[in-house]
Amino acid sequence: MRLILLFAAFAAAMSARSLEIFFIDVEGGQSTLIVAPSGQSLLIDAGYADYSGRDADRIADAAKAARIKRIDAVLITHHHSDHEGGVPNLLQRLDVGEFFDPGPSVETSPDQLRAYKAYEQAVANRHRIVVKPGDTIPLKGLTVTVVAAAGARIDKHGEANPFCEGIIPEQNELAENARSAGVVIEYGKFRFADLGDLTPNKETALLCPENRVGNLDLFLTDHHGGVTSKAIYGMAPRVAIMNNGPRKGADPQGWKTVKASPGLEDLWQLHYAAANGEAANVPDTFIANLEEHCSGNYLKVTAEPNGAFTVYNPRNKFSKKYGPK
């Protein structure tokens, strides 16, 4: 009888776990750790290489905070060094399962080829899957849907997006950014989107004239808070997270576009943007790292299936709750 009660208590504790999302400070690159209530995990991007393995260390610290010893899947949104560079260091520190990416690199600069070659060598003996729009990444307890990849977008209907009118195409978009793999992660009513470094033109193609993503609770700004399309307003995010560095990302124009999103309750930043001043930075309370040379604090989101979630800033122990739908 006692064993039955203990098992029931353990099962209840496991079912009570929430979805956890760690937005890891990789100094203006990207690395986001998603831990499902089941305990399975997905890492989206791995930050930079080198820096004595700084970014892999910060990912390992987040994994420890999440009480996991293995990362079940890694999605590399695209082949730039601030997204895939940290993979070799990561594999030296953590047990990792499958890799997902949008296919081979299409850029040929020496720096890019160096980063991509290092990535290919690191994953050569691992299970690697090329994703396309409409695919799902298996993660028990969550639905992870690829909505963009390799320059294509998901083929589905959505509601008309009233913010598409008057959008002017951007020029000279970087090819790898435009090929970013973007995903929508759903846990019950809670919905989160990470679109990598998807460019304004590809945002518009995904969201116009129909919003093929749907409404969001949480949105990770594209391209570290760089220039973005007003088409994102159609997703009506409640909260946005900006994965900028002290001197990278949080472009004033992009920052203002995101901040003006209709219905946005709050914008949070991984770093104070040193060049922007008060005009294009949120209040310090909502920033994980204030100094240029910092300890690399993450931002943590804890989400429930009813759509409620909390954002927590370890630097100042400040948290804010956002209610259920």
Long-range own/partner contacts, residues 125-128 (CB < 8 A, 24 or more apart): 126/96, 126/98, 126/99, 127/97, 127/98, 127/99, 128/98, 128/99, 128/100, 128/101
The residue whose two tokens read 């290092």 is 118
pLDDT (0 to 100) of residue 312: 98
Over the chain, what is the mean pLDDT?
94
Is residue 75 assigned to a domain?
A: yes
Is residue 268 assigned to a domain?
A: yes
pLDDT tops 90 at residue 11: no
CATH of the domain at 157: 3.60.15.10
pLDDT band at 14 (very low <50, low <70, confident <90, very high): very low
Is residue 151 assigned to a domain?
A: yes
pLDDT tops 70 at residue 315: yes
The residue whose two tokens read 């945002």 is 203
Distance from CA of residue 278 to its chain's centroid?
25
pLDDT (0 to 100) of residue 2: 53
pLDDT in tens, 32-89: 999 999 999 999 999 999 899 999 999 999 999 999 999 999 999 999 999 999 999 9
Is residue 10 assigned to a domain?
A: no
pLDDT in tens, 85-138: 999 999 999 999 999 999 999 998 998 899 999 999 999 999 999 999 999 999
pLDDT in tens, 248-266: 999 999 999 999 999 999 9
Number of domains observed in the structure of the chain = 1
Beta strand 182-187 pairing with 190-194: antiparallel
Is residue 6 assigned to a domain?
A: no
Is residue 7 assigned to a domain?
A: no
Mean pLDDT of 148-167: 96
| Residue 255, both tokens | 């920052």
pLDDT (0 to 100) of residue 174: 76
pLDDT (0 to 100) of residue 10: 42
Is residue 4 assigned to a domain?
A: no
Domain boundaries, position 39: 17-322
